[in-house]
Structure 1
Amino acid sequence: MPGPAPASKSRARPLESGPSAAAEEQAPPAAKRARAPPAPGAQLPVYDPSMRAAPLPPSPRAPKVLCWNVAGLRGMLSKNAAAVSALVEREAADVVALQEIKLQESHCDEARKQLGLPDWSVTWNCSRERKGYSGVAILSRQAPLSVACGMGTAVHDGEGRLVTAEFDRYYVVAVYVPNSGAGLKRLEYRVREWDAAFAAYLEGLQKNKPVIVVGDLNCAHREIDIHAPKTNLKSAGFTPRERESFERLFLSELRLKDGFREIHPGVVGYTYWGHRFNLRAQNKGWRLDYVLVSDALWSKVHDVFHLSDVQGSDHCPLGIQLNLDRA
């Protein structure tokens, strides 16, 4: 990935004070830091910032990618104009992927100004089929080598669910996967059409270079990824068919790594809680948001983390940092 811009207000170091640069260079890769799963019957630990690896200093060789389902970008920025820019500053991020922006194309110029990142490259993909619905964006400190909106198939691209940004070593794919909907009315489309087309699209990308897939995948993969698994087997996002499709197409056939789960196999780490019933305070949620990484890039992963302390949406941001100097 191209390197960060010269030091500026948005180039602030992360809040955590990590070890020295020399020590950080010797820190084990994520694959070697994976925690052992808890013993059967043991109470599962809940993810918290102490489990996060000390962030590497900002560097072109240690790029950081964040993603966040903002549940309506205009609404978020109207309540807190610095919601995104403050996150960028705090985390010294290089790329930010936003999902469910709910913008029309006529809103994008104003939203671009409101973001407070005037020197950043921004690519929007808004829903054309429904106004104020879906939509994704990729923001990057340095302009990507190329960008593409959608998968190139009209049947799947009308809702603005995908942006791909190409960098030197990999692609960043920002995605907002369709929800199967009330009464599972879109389940067939989701598992038989969308998932298959998206997997084929990623397979094509991986023939050129590795991928980092970030976004709301609308699937809680395992029972550990949802607060009440037994009562949600027929709920969109946790049906056996959605989970099987996710496992087979993306983890098995494409050999993508579920970054958070690889590092924290027995840790509860929800990313979505909804706005009702104070569920976030009770940590009754779902893990719907993911960082998936090509197997060929996994050895370069320094950390995959959740930012559950960040408010502003019913989802929390999450991210990945690489160490490209690792063998």
Structure 2
Amino acid sequence: MLTSWLRAAGTRTLLGHLVRRSHPLPMAPKRKAAAALSEAAVVNEDSKAAAPQHGKAKATAAAAAAKSKAAPAKRVAKAKPPPGPAWDASMRPQPLAAGTPACRILSWNVAGLRALLKKSKETDEGTRDELILTPVALAQKEQADVLCLQEIKLQQDHCADVLKDLDVPEGWHVSWNCSRDKKGYSGTAIISRQAPLSVSCGIGAEEHDGEGRVLTAEFPTFWLVNCYVPNSGAGLKRLEYRVNSWDKDFSAYLKRLEGSKPVVLTGDLNVAPAEIDIHSPKTNLKSAGFTPEERASFADNLIGQGFVDCFRTQYPEAVGYTYWGYRFNARANNKGWRLDHFLVSQQLHPSVHECYHLPAVLGSDHCPLGLVVKL
């Protein structure tokens, strides 16, 4: 028993000797930092009484600086550039001096001409609160010389009856291009104070000309092309046709016309060319009319071929829409798209006095737009 006790005592003595003689183990980084902070706290507490008052401020500033240095830098999101000012009629230039030779052109996707005329009739009868003008009444109010309509949705045998309801003044000229491939679909019309030198339907390509989408009128100093470009459709089912067939062939047609005189192109071109031309660009990248493919095609086949976007050139930063869906009170909230355009040949652009919109004109989900060209 004594032997066991001696052995245990000797072991304890030996262990105590080893502990006293051995070097301390290095601390883990976190423990080391904690110890350092603890030691600093003790020193700080000891010096509080002796330190003058401004020393406290210095210590606080030093602690804040150390904390700031230790904390990871926060990522600061880049601020979005603010949208441009909403376009309104106050931005329009002064009218041309009286007697200045000019041609005034209006363009309007009426989303069904018979439906629009019915709404106008209801206004006259007092059964509709909104003021809906007929296209011809609007042209007379705006003193327009030419009126281009898209999406008239007429068959050829409807035109005579519709012409009566339009109340076209005597001497004015009316041309139609109605869809043959599908009833109650697409279609274009041109109404002018004076008869054009010539009028033609389509672009001379059978695969494109059955839907009545292009109507061209020749005037003494320019060609006027009224167009309703095919929509890429739900699920973008016509996107491939639109950008790789229609757009290319239509561009070639315009360049052929331009070989003899400048071109004025107008109509619903079914594309919002840039982010400024749509109320919600980020959520519409896969929507017909704003896909990257359609915008690239517009840039390549129209702007890249020397045609000038008259509205965007005149108002580079203004937000001006021409189309608003019927749902979600989009028009009242100005959540729209700029799908309707006037483009002109580069050599004609110096003669353009103004391009403007008429968003207060109701009757369609599109508003009319106008162009004034000095002659």
Q: Tell me, what secondary structure is at the counterpart of 1:215?
A: strand
Q: How does 1:37-52 map to 2 (within 5 A)?
A: 41-52=81-92
Q: Match for residue 210 of structure 2?
A: 158
Q: Match for residue 265 of structure 2?
A: 213
Instruction: Report if the CA contact (8 A) 1:121-1:142 is conserved.
Output: yes
Which letter maps to 2:292? P
Out of 63, 66, 78, the position equivalent to 2:106 is 66
Q: How does 1:179-218 map to 2 (within 5 A)?
A: 179-218=231-270
Q: Distance in 1 between matches of 2:189 and 2:98?
A: 23
For normalisation by structure 2, the TM-score amounts to: 0.74
Q: Match for residue 6 of structure 1?
A: none
Which letter maps to 2:295? R
Misfit runs of 4+, over 2 Å: 40-43, 54-60
Instruction: Report if the CA contact (8 A) 2:100-2:374 is conserved.
Output: no
Q: Distance in 1 between matches of 2:324 and 2:297?
A: 23
**Structure 1 residues 57-90: Cα deviation after superposition (integer angstroms, max 9, x where no partner):** 6768211011000000000001104421221121
| Greater mean deviation of Cα atoms: 48-57 or 289-298 | 48-57
| 2:96 matches 1:56 | yes
Kindly report the root-mean-square deviation, in angstroms, between the aligned alpha carbons of the 2 structures: 1.4
Q: Which runs of 5+ in 2 are unaligned?
A: 1-79, 122-132
Cα offset, 1:215, TM superposition: 0.2
Q: Match for residue 135 of structure 1?
A: 187
Q: Tell me, what secondary structure is at the counterpart of 1:127?
A: coil
Cα offset, 1:41, TM superposition: 2.4
Instruction: Report if the CA contact (8 A) 1:58-1:92 is conserved.
Output: no
Instruction: Report if the CA contact (8 A) 2:311-2:342 is conserved.
Output: yes
Out of 204, 217, 236, the position equivalent to 2:288 is 236
Q: How does 1:278-297 map to 2 (within 5 A)?
A: 278-297=329-348
Q: Tell me, what secondary structure is at the counterpart of 1:193?
A: helix
Q: How does 1:15-26 map to 2 (within 5 A)?
A: none
Q: Match for residue 268 of structure 1?
A: 319
Q: Which runs of 5+ in 1 are unaligned?
A: 1-39
Q: Which structure exhibits the higher relative contact order, with contacts defined as CA atoms closer than 8 Å and separated by 6 or more residues?
A: 1
Q: Tell me, what secondary structure is at the counterpart of 1:204?
A: helix
More helix per residue: 2
Instruction: Report if the CA contact (8 A) 2:359-2:367 is conserved.
Output: yes
Q: How many pairs does the alignment contain?
A: 285
Q: Distance in 1 between matches of 2:223 and 2:96?
A: 21
Out of 73, 78, 84, the position equivalent to 2:118 is 78
Higher Rg of the two aligned structures: 2
Q: Tell me, what secondary structure is at the counterpart of 1:281?
A: coil
Cα offset, 1:309, TM superposition: 1.0
Cα offset, 1:147, TM superposition: 0.4
Which letter maps to 1:42? P
Instruction: Report if the CA contact (8 A) 2:93-2:354 is conserved.
Output: yes
Out of 160, 163, 166, the position equivalent to 1:115 is 166
Q: Distance in 1 between matches of 2:161 and 2:95?
A: 33
Out of 191, 194, 198, the position equivalent to 1:146 is 198
Q: Match for residue 12 of structure 1?
A: none
